[in-house]
Structure 1
Amino acid sequence: MIRFFLIGLMSTMISMASLYSVAADNDKAGDLCPDANILSTVIDGMCWSCLLPIRLAGIGGDAPKGAASSKPFCMCADELGVPEWGIPLGFFQPSRIVSFSPTPYCMPSFGVRLADDSTRAGQGRTETAIDDTETSFFHYKYWVYPVMQMIEMFANADCTYDGATTLDLAYFSEADPLYQDDLLAFVMFPETVIFSNPIATSICTADCAQILAGGEVVENYFCAGCSGNLYPMTGNNQYSDDPVRGTSLLTTRLMATLHRRGQAQLTMGNHMIQDSCEPNYAPMLPKTQYRSSMLYPVREASSQPKGGGGSSIPLSTGCCHKLGDSVLKWGNGRLVPGREAFVYLLYSWNDCCLR
């Protein structure tokens, strides 16, 4: 009995010491791990216009390339295989949060830093390559953020595929050795040797031109639009002087990695409104399925970014952007001196059948 009491007492003391260590780390981190106040800005911090277009029964605006065809009715099989008729619905659903920070174990979405400085594991860095070009490195935290279910809006069970109803940390880069090493990433992405070269990069330039013209490109899956080449699939990027563009590229790389692993699925297309009506595995990133909106350091949903001595730069009318869209269209005024953390809200196009 005494032995169990001592074990319990020791566990409590260790837990209290760990909490004290975390609090001390947070105090030392200061602005290196800021608080983006995500939960306190659920309503006013979100880009509501990014839910559009909402297409019901094939009516309601132009859907992104790759979405289900414009049909007034849909048919899905129930658990017994019996067909059920319904009405197709498609819209961009906010469902994920991605945060970036050069500080390991920093969670800027909520201003928490969980770290063990003694191990030095996952330390961020800025390196100089052989050709004297600097590369930067950011760690990410990937959160399940079912905000529509949390506020009970568009929370129909037929359009909720992952079953998520609460906030949850799904993945983080410190636990992923492939994200931190270009050579290890080659194991999962052997095509890197083909696409990580100047020829592929030149093709991505044309890809960017089409996006700037308002088009959507799905064929060049190795490109991240105006953000550059999608490969290698690591946290290293060449935009050390432009972290907004750099983290935008890393967002696209992260989603491509999750699709390759099966942790993200294809939720757009005719397969969502016929037969089993279930998401499919997509080993290559369906870029048109996603939209992104910056939440921190300057919300993209705000009409005027603030900072830099009180000055502001007028932005475009939209408050979210396509993956790979040029930062010249949405990123002006988003970089605040002294703030190295960035948080994005991801919208995913969902086709579903309301039965």
Structure 2
Amino acid sequence: MVNRLLNKLILLLFCGLLILPVTARAGQECRASFINPVTDIRWDAMFPVEIAGIEIKGPSNLPDPDKINAIICLCRRGNNVVLGVTVSYWNPSRIIETTKVPYCFSTIGGVEIQSPEPGTKQGSVNTNTPYTKQNAHWYVFPVWHILDLFVDIPCVPTEGFDLAYITEIDPTWNNDLVGFLLNPEALLFGNPVAQLACIADSVSATAWKPLDPLFWCMGSWGSSYPLTGGISEANYIKANAGLAARMVYKMNREALHWDTAVDYCGAVITPIWIKSHYKMHVLKPVRSEPMFIGRPSIIWETGKNPPFGTSQNAPDNFSWMLFQRVKCCLGKMF
């Protein structure tokens, strides 16, 4: 009897030794294919397009958050004046990575840099708390210029590819107390009443678009605050969506990203983000549909993070394609 129990115990330990390394590698591996702008991006997300008050809807069922309601525009550019027609569209121009593995850059083929502090900055999820923590990277990724399309149209911003921000070296992302310096107003919204209002934002993001006056909410993705890498969410995919959205807010707060949909005469700084001016979709591990910030993950998350990844992409390291709305005055300069 004792021998049989010992044999079963040894067998269980042996099976555990076989399984544990595989599980650990699956969640800590930096493996990804290089992004293909032609096939990986959901091009239907650039619609609707509006030209001189005429809306072209395209295949996307996501609406414009607000119409320009003007046909002719007049803008000052230095000592000159531009007289033209109004234009709006959705520009795929940024990529956000939310990664479990520190210094893992899945967008550019799974490049991994040796951490100067091995064993630290590792992403994690705690289902008991619940709490999820990830690293984030911000790419300037001007798709139109990369593909050499529409480069002579003034309404397409002229930019170059750049890995512009990584949070592994940012104390405001890795420490909630230090991050408080960026968002002291978080104290005003850390209460049940303020968070209860996020239900309305979640419903609106599902049926139409997020509610911009509720800037402290990210719909069903949780609270916008604090602007750090830890979020009170155990659903791993939804948590990463929330952290990607927080990164958008953080870049706006630090004036490292300007809003191109407030004024058709030029981009402006928005320390309080206007979240309806952005939509995104998962690029990796598995591409998703385009969505506004806060759209319930139960609608779009199925199969987007397979336990052992795909043949090319490891699990738990996400890339998000960010579309930002552009309003522009297209015309002749005098």
TM-score, normalising length from structure 2? 0.82
Partner residue of 2:95?
97
Partner residue of 1:52?
47
Give, as a single letter, the amino acid of the residue that structure 2 aligns with 1:150: I
- Does the C-alpha gap of structure 1 residues 113 and 72 become closer, same or farther in structure 2, counting only changes over 3 Å? same
SS at 2:39 equivalent: coil
The answer to whether the 8 Å contact 1:36/1:297 transfers is no
Matched, 1:186 2:180: yes
Distance 1:212 1:29 in 2: 32
Partner residue of 1:85?
83
Within 5 A, what are the aligned runs for 1:131-210? Answer: 133-161=129-157, 163-165=158-160, 167-210=161-204
Distance 2:276 2:125 in 1: 32
- Does the C-alpha gap of structure 1 residues 187 and 328 become closer, same or farther in structure 2, counting only changes over 3 Å? same
Deviations 1:134-171 (A, max 9, x none): 4221111111100111213233452244x313x21010
Distance 1:30 1:214 in 2: 35
The answer to whether the 8 Å contact 1:121/1:174 transfers is no
Give the CA deviation at 1:342.
Answer: 0.7
Give the CA deviation at 1:327.
Answer: 1.0
CA RMSD of aligned residues (A): 2.2
The answer to whether the 8 Å contact 2:276/2:292 transfers is yes
Deviations 1:215-241 (A, max 9, x none): 44111000011101111111111223x
Report the count of equivalent residues: 295
The answer to whether the 8 Å contact 2:27/2:316 transfers is no
- Does the C-alpha gap of structure 1 residues 122 and 348 become closer, same or farther in structure 2, counting only changes over 3 Å? farther
Distance 1:156 1:198 in 2: 50
Partner residue of 1:348?
324
The answer to whether the 8 Å contact 2:40/2:287 transfers is yes
The answer to whether the 8 Å contact 1:196/1:232 transfers is no
Distance 1:210 1:263 in 2: 28
TM-score, normalising length from structure 1? 0.78
Distance 2:87 2:42 in 1: 20
Partner residue of 1:307?
none
Structure 2: which 5+ runs fail to align? 1-24, 58-62, 309-314
Deviations 1:225-280 (A, max 9, x none): 1101111111111223x2210111001111111111111112113x32xxxx1211
Structure 1: which 5+ runs fail to align? 1-27, 301-318
- Does the C-alpha gap of structure 1 residues 66 and 280 become closer, same or farther in structure 2, counting only changes over 3 Å? farther
Partner residue of 2:15?
none
